[in-house]
A and B are shown apart, each in its own frame.
Chain A
Amino acid sequence: MSAFLILLRRELALAWGKGGGPLIALAFYAGVVTLLPMAAGRAPEKLAAVAPGIAWLALALSALLSLERLFERDYEDGALDLLALGPASLEAVAVAKCLAQWLASGAPLALAAPVAALALGADPKIIPLLVLCALAGGLAFAFLGGLGASLALGSRRGGLLVAVIVLPLYVPPVIFGAGALDALSADLPWTAGLWLMLAYCTAAVALSPLAMAAACRNALD
């Protein structure tokens, strides 16, 4: 078994383990999706218009939940030292952590998103696009979130700091994803938004591991 897979298995076990990461993210998602319509107005036609946007924005917020501990717990208990001495580079360690985060919380959320959108009265034809956006966007949320988590290493109030660092980075995928979903529901051309979002996700996945590794080295020093 390669070192990367060994680490990925451990990260998945930690993400699924005690504390129920995915379940809490799902419960939070359900909560936000129920709460937003109460503020936005409950007339069905009004709700159907904002349904894709709500389902999509709540994903970004739920993705924030378990990020704080992504690097922090390994930093506090010394496991990050051991990870730095392993056969894989810190960049690969960061990729494994973010990938596990996505598998444990991003992917389940992507399956919950269509349920929420339909419950709010969204047009069923947007469902395939919503799932695709949620899967790809979730990957970007996980990697950008990891970036925030690594930059916040060693600071007190890390959780809030992670949110403050990460939310601005979530803006482009939220705009492009919601744009594509809105355009599709209104029968307008929608592919441009999807491509822009996929491009942003690709860049996030490719570049953020470099920054995460640098931030970890800096925190260990």
Chain B
Amino acid sequence: MLRVVRIQDLAISRGERRLFSGFNLQVEPGEAVALTGRNGAGKTSLLRAVAGLLRPEAGAISFGDTEPETARAEHLHMVGHHDGLKSTRTAWEELRFQTLWTGGSEASARDAAQIMDLKRLLDLEVRRLSAGQRRRLALARLAASPRSLWLLDEPMAPLDAGHRSAFGAVMAGHLAGGGMIMAAVHDPLPVPCRTVEVGA
């Protein structure tokens, strides 16, 4: 379980362009942070830097007394623009693999499928799913895995109103259990959250 995420004096550049610098943020258990900002402000890059996928130009990202390598291998989870789903495999094969890979169990994958209203879709190939169904499948892996920090990039854009509130309940449950959420969004998150503007 992560105790804190601390981002200090972070600067990120892509190519020649400096996206932002001097960015500070601290996230505590039970807290959700909505990252806002114009297109290209660096929200996605910030999430990828926290996930350790992108090297920041300057600054530090720490996870309290947990080593960054351990935090990234065991405690954080991500759903980005690219959902990592293989279009030729069935929804269940993909959900099962992604869940087991990130420390969940087959039972937790089934529960998550139930919560995200995917039960009837599990036998279908991923390419048969609509954009919204596909996103629900990607989000289900969050609920299925015991990982405390969720990094979400526009998680709810393709979801309809009913499923937005369903995922809102999942997020609320995660926060109530001491989880943390950092989400890049344009629409408001359906849970109480702090809003931080990136690249202001």
A interface list, Cβ under 8 A from B: 1, 3, 6-7, 10, 13-14, 17-19, 73-74, 76-87, 220-221
Contact = CB atoms under 8 A, between A and B. Distances in A.
A142 B131 CA distance: 35
Contacts of A10: 97
Given A1-B100, A6-B101, A84-B53, A78 B86 contact: no
Given A10-B97, A220-B53, A220-B54, A81 B73 contact: no
B103 A87 contact: yes
14 contacts: A6-B100, A10-B97, A13-B89, A17-B88, A74-B84, A77-B87, A78-B82, A79-B84, A79-B86, A81-B48, A81-B51, A82-B78, A83-B101, A86-B101
Contact of B84 (A1, A14, A77): A77
B19 to A, nearest CB: 14
Interface residues of B, number: 29
Nearest to A14: B86
B97 A6 contact: yes
Contact of B83 (A1, A7, A18, A78): A78
Nearest to B81: A78
Contacts of B102: 82, 85-87
Contacts of B100: 1, 3, 6
A78 B87 CA distance: 12
Given A1-B100, A85-B72, A77 B86 contact: yes
Interface string B89-132: 10001000110111100000000000000000000000000000
Contacts of B82: 76-78, 81
A85 B77 contact: yes
B189 interface: no
Interface in B19-65: 48, 51-55
Given A78-B80, A85-B76, A85-B77, 7 more contacts: A13-B93, A14-B86, A77-B83, A77-B84, A78-B81, A84-B53, A87-B73
Which of A14, A77, A80, A82 gathers the greatest number of chain B CB atoms within 10 Å?
A82
A81 B78 contact: yes
A7 B101 CA distance: 7
B45 to A, nearest CB: 10
A82 B77 CA distance: 8
Contacts of A83: 101
B74 interface: yes
A77 B84 CA distance: 5
Contacts of A17: 88-89
Contacts of B77: 85
Contacts of A221: 53-55
B85 interface: yes
Contacts of B89: 13-14, 17
